[in-house]
A and B are shown apart, each in its own frame.
Chain A
Amino acid sequence: MISVDGLSVSLAGRRVVEEVSFALEAGAFAALTGPNGAGKSTALKAMAGVAPVEAGNVRIGGEDAGALSAPARARRLAWLAQARPVAWNLRVEDVVALGRFAEAPEAYDRMGAEGRGAVDAALGKADAAHLAGRPFQALSGGEQARVHLARLLASPAPVLLLDEPCAALDIAHQLSLMETLAAEAAAGRTVLVVLHDLELAARYCRRVIVLEAGRLVADGAPEAALSADVLGRVFGVQRGTGGALIRKPR
């Protein structure tokens, strides 16, 4: 469904992503992980078309993403940024309705029945239906994160990219978010999520991609991609006696 081939990205003259290649089929639920500064967010941005691709290419459903117009790309791929500012105290439905901007650039009240239905359904899936009608800036951090998730789910795009969606969420909502994403993948969407919580990644994702210093260093099922070797070499951690991850002595 989405593939990157030899993707390289430079920011301010520095190579941040270096010849990364992988492909995700429809229905895949994959985690992208790696230490801070590994290039995860930048790789996601390049896939979403908001960071310049220096070399290589991104294909969505077989089409060259670089050749797509912005609305055409938005209909195929939705991206949740790591930083999620909302400048005005918009109503929750209007924030979610922006997820369908490429379909209909309207506020919720002026959308057609189909658009409103999609927004309502997305709010339900994100466990945020009760937040409808509230002003966004009055919500807690966790509630705001769920509204952003609903915005992503309201989009018709078959590919979802999420950059640390679990930040600011309590444990119950982290689990419920992962379950929601798993259900979206089971329904045929392709989901790639940047996670720092390796346990969460291993538990829900059938595939884990590990970046280190801009390069892809592991890609496969969780047990293979997060092997003791990778944990030690890339993350500097190991399994303790109880199975929990502990810092590896240097």
Chain B
Amino acid sequence: MSRLTVILVLTAVALLAGSALVGTAPISLADSLTALAGQGDAATRTILWEIRLPRAAAAFAVGAALGLAGAGLQGLLQNPLAEPGVLGVSAFSALGAVIAIFFGFAAVSSFAVPAAAILGAAVATVLLAFAAMRGAGSVTLLLIGIGLSSFAGALMSLALNMAPNPYSLSDLVNWMMGSVANRSWADLVLTAPALMVGAALVLVAGPGLRALSLGEETAASLGADPKRTRLLVIGGTSLLAGAGVATAGAIGFVGIVAPHVMRPLVQHDPQRLLVPSALFAGIILLAADIAIRVLPFQQELRLGVAAALAGGPVFIWIAARLGRSSS
């Protein structure tokens, strides 16, 4: 493990513990620490182990999934603005989840929502990869992503209109905005297989991503297999984004910001970027989730909103810098 990875892991562990100490229930630091160690009264233990820690773990897992998906997609499309949220993958994934809930599939099996979210993510990713294969440039891909996002939003409204048992608008907002409040260990266990397989697929594609830096033809001449790399990243990011959305709804920009910050620290190598991006994105969401619980708002700010408030300006800044260097 590199020193960077060690620092990120230690930071994540510290934040996970810190997240357990923060919340609306007034629990003293000493009581929290006792409960974390498995001692003290049952109510405090329940609050820490069944409410705060799963929530923190969910924030980290979703962030890590989005960070890894972002770094993988950026390597594949050779574009620093690529990310599940920007490219419409998260929106399609949310659409899948909404369809599963509103049409009652969720009642049939608890795997229906994650499966539908992953399927939705796969549809968008395959469309994007198809466009990229046919030579679509950065701008075209981002425009397609905007189109996919809006289209998914429209389809979600349509699903809402046609659903046999319409939920309230606030449920739709839940999926569009993203939140990790009230997540349980069971929710995490449900999506864990998809997260792990997705992460493995993207990590296996790592060396191929570095070869792809020299363009597809040269990569092929070097003995890499660009088609295999593409399949691995598409499959992996669909699973990651789908699992992330199934857990927390659509959360944008984390997948852009984390790789952007980590890239100079790994010599801009698309392979070595993967693990630090995942860890750092997990840290960002974990910190954001702590922040929204500490901030004195009447109603708790949604995690996706907080991520967009911080990530949006960074996205615009990266895009503006890109435009300057290419013009």
The chain A residues found within 8 Å of chain B, CB to CB, are 45, 48-50, 70-75, 77-79, 81, 83-91, 94-95, 98-99, 101-102, 105-107, 135
Contacts and interface: CB of A to CB of B under 8 A. Distances in A.
19 contacts: A50-B221, A70-B223, A74-B223, A75-B223, A77-B221, A78-B221, A79-B218, A81-B218, A84-B214, A87-B214, A88-B213, A88-B269, A91-B267, A94-B210, A98-B214, A98-B222, A101-B211, A102-B222, A105-B210
Q: Which 5 A-B pairs have the closest CB atoms?
A: A74-B223, A102-B223, A105-B207, A71-B223, A87-B78
Interface string B251-291: 00000000000010001111110000000000000000000
Given A71-B223, A105-B224, A91 B268 contact: yes
Interface in B212-247: 212-215, 217-218, 220-225
Contacts of A89: 268
A106 B214 contact: no
Contact of B214 (A77, A85, A91): A85
Contacts, number: 86
B217 A88 contact: no
B269 A84 contact: no
A70 B220 contact: yes
Contacts of A50: 217, 220-221
A149 B196 CA distance: 40
Given A70-B223, A95-B213, 17 more contacts: A45-B217, A70-B225, A72-B223, A73-B221, A81-B218, A84-B218, A85-B214, A86-B213, A90-B210, A99-B222, A101-B207, A101-B211, A101-B222, A102-B223, A105-B210, A105-B224, A135-B267
Nearest to A80: B218
A188 B223 CA distance: 23
A87 B218 CA distance: 12
Nearest to A87: B78
Nearest to A73: B223
A50 B226 CA distance: 12
A85 B216 CA distance: 10
B210 A98 contact: yes
Interface residues of B, number: 24
B213 A90 contact: yes
A164 B214 CA distance: 17
Nearest to A49: B221
Q: Decide if the interface of chain B is mainly helix, strand, loop or mixed.
A: loop
Given A88-B270, A90-B213, A106-B207, A79 B221 contact: yes
Q: Which of B211, B214, B270 has the most CB of A within 10 A?
A: B214
Given A50-B220, A74-B221, A88-B268, A105 B215 contact: no
Nearest to B213: A87
B214 A94 contact: no
Contacts of B217: 45, 50, 81
B34 to A, nearest CB: 44
A83 B270 CA distance: 21
A98 B211 contact: yes
A107 B269 contact: yes
Contacts of B212: 87
Nearest to A104: B207
Contacts of A49: 220-221
A107 B215 contact: no
Nearest to A79: B221
A81 B223 contact: no
Contact of A81 (B207, B215, B269): B215
Nearest to A72: B223
A70 B224 contact: yes
Contacts of B270: 88
Given A98-B210, A107-B210, A135-B268, A85 B215 contact: yes
Interface in B140-193: none
A135 B224 CA distance: 23
Q: Which of A75, A101, A106, A107 has the most CB of B within 10 A?
A: A101
Contact of B224 (A91, A101, A107): A101
B269 A74 contact: no
Nearest to A93: B267
B223 A101 contact: yes
A50 B217 CA distance: 6
Contacts of B208: 105
Contacts of B218: 79, 81, 84
Contacts of A94: 210, 267, 269
A105 B224 CA distance: 9
A138 B214 CA distance: 16
B206 to A, nearest CB: 9
B214 A86 contact: yes
Contacts of B271: 107
A83 B222 contact: no
